[in-house]
Structure 1
Amino acid sequence: MSSTSLLLYVDAQYVSPYALSAFVALHEKGLPFDIQTLDLAAKAQHEPDFAAKSLTRRVPTLIHNGFSLSESSAIAEYIDEVFPGTPLYPNEPQSRARARQVQAWLRSDLTALKQERPTEVVFLGEKQPPLSPKAQRAAEKLFSAAELLLAANTENLFGQWSIADVDLALTLNRLILHGDSVPNNLVTYAKNQWQRPSVQLWINQKR
């Protein structure tokens, strides 16, 4: 691979929220890259060829000049440090730390919500039963945090777009696109983020 040639492994259904995040990061940087899909249902991520490339055997995995990296937030940070172009994180240290906190939190918490509103709801239009009390509590926690983060600006988390906006909008859209009740200001925020061209490129992938 050349220094500007990259390969991104994503799930074959294009429903992974983390593959979305890495995909958007590459497009925001204006980087040319190829996509390789893996059928996760068929356990393709455990086949020897991919296992030799991906330390965690997960998507997304990025290959750049012989270097392989998985975990979407690590991919975004790497891309931001290595390549010029649209910043993926705020420049101000505390805002940058907050953006990384938001990403880590959305990946590690709200388990019941994510289980009951999988991203098949977002990208395939699947319908699920009403939220359980545990998932409702997770949704309330999500709304509370999002409203605090957006208190000073309803368009982006930190006054200008960052990759954390994609992750937050995706989590909100698990509920919004299913028809669950979400505060109006958060609906507006998520819908605006969803119209970003790099996000639309993912949404419009053939499934």
Structure 2
Amino acid sequence: MTALLHLHVDAQFASPYALSVFVALHEKGLAFELSSVDLAARENRAAGFSRLSLTRRVPTLVHGDFALSESSAITEYLDELFPGTPLYPSAPRDRARARQLQAWLRSDLMPIRVERSTEVLFYGPTQAPLSEAARSAAATLFEVIETLLPTDAEHLFGAWSVADLDAALMLNRLRLNGDAVPPRLAAYAAAQWQRPSVQRWVRMERPPL
């Protein structure tokens, strides 16, 4: 029987945005089919996928006759539509702050994203040192997460949310590469990375680069 939900992700299973939606589906306990799109071969520009995905990007989630791309739009859609583990905080201000954090992590910190790509997470570390710009971006990242993470807390907003995944992923770009991360943040990122839904993605069999 065909699953009602169908998730399209990158062929390397390395996209942080695909990871976010994959984890959200597992946290909600939803059955879904998974397909990979070879971005290097421009399969996302092929007629079939470009007709399906408005922005021609992964992840794209198909729900019946509705297709949606952009990871934060997808996770908000899933949270509004399905029961199960909440993906966002229930308090309006915390929910707004979580969405703010997601938007910032996706739009800023470019030196970290370039110099510590997600290949570091899934294919192994790089020996290249961080540039001054990346070190500055890391200092900003640490300051923001330190401000949001309460003392002795496991999560940013009381219970787990998808914002914890996104924050931990950015920290893990550094931590898993052996770059210096403040101990409290390193412990937080390590704990988030061991969440079963995250480990399902981490353990995916990947093609060589």
| Structure 2 counterparts to residues 23-172 of structure 1, below 5 A | 23-172=22-171
**Preserved contact between residue 50 and residue 57 of structure 1 (Cα < 8 Å):** yes
Q: Normalising by the residue count of structure 2, what TM-score does the alignment of the two structures yield?
A: 0.96
**Preserved contact between residue 153 and residue 159 of structure 1 (Cα < 8 Å):** no
The answer for unaligned runs of 5 or more in structure 1 is none
**Preserved contact between residue 22 and residue 60 of structure 1 (Cα < 8 Å):** yes
Q: Deviations over 1:36-94 (max 9, x none)?
A: 10111111110010000101111000000110100100000000001111100010000
Segments ≥4 residues shifted beyond 6 Å: none
Residues of 1 paired with 2:69 and 2:111: CA distance?
Answer: 24
1:174 is displaced (CA, Å) by 0.2
Residues of 2 paired with 1:153 and 1:27: CA distance?
Answer: 27
The aligned amino acid for 1:141 is: T
SS in 1 for 2:86: coil
Aligned sequence identity (%): 61
**Preserved contact between residue 29 and residue 84 of structure 2 (Cα < 8 Å):** yes
The aligned amino acid for 2:204 is: Q
Q: Deviations over 1:160-198 (max 9, x none)?
A: 100000000000000000000000000100011011110
The answer for unaligned runs of 5 or more in structure 2 is none
Residues of 1 paired with 2:7 and 2:102: CA distance?
Answer: 20
SS in 1 for 2:68: strand
Residues of 2 paired with 1:92 and 1:153: CA distance?
Answer: 21
| Structure 2 counterparts to residues 11-30 of structure 1, below 5 A | 11-30=10-29
**Preserved contact between residue 116 and residue 128 of structure 1 (Cα < 8 Å):** no
**Preserved contact between residue 154 and residue 185 of structure 1 (Cα < 8 Å):** no
The aligned amino acid for 1:84 is: P
1:153 is displaced (CA, Å) by 4.6
SS in 1 for 2:40: helix
Q: Normalising by the residue count of structure 1, what TM-score does the alignment of the two structures yield?
A: 0.97
1:5 is displaced (CA, Å) by 1.2
Residues of 2 paired with 1:88 and 1:163: CA distance?
Answer: 5
Query: Does the C-alpha gap of structure 1 residues 148 and 191 become closer, same or farther in structure 2, counting only changes over 3 Å?
Result: same
Deviates most, 146-155 or 12-21: 146-155
Residues of 2 paired with 1:181 and 1:65: CA distance?
Answer: 45
SS in 1 for 2:35: strand
The aligned amino acid for 2:53 is: S
The aligned amino acid for 2:9 is: V
Deviates most, 144-153 or 13-22: 144-153
Residues of 1 paired with 2:205 and 2:127: CA distance?
Answer: 23
| Structure 2 counterparts to residues 179-198 of structure 1, below 5 A | 179-198=178-197
Residues of 1 paired with 2:88 and 2:151: CA distance?
Answer: 18
**Preserved contact between residue 61 and residue 68 of structure 2 (Cα < 8 Å):** yes
**Preserved contact between residue 125 and residue 176 of structure 2 (Cα < 8 Å):** no
The aligned amino acid for 1:105 is: W
SS in 1 for 2:34: strand
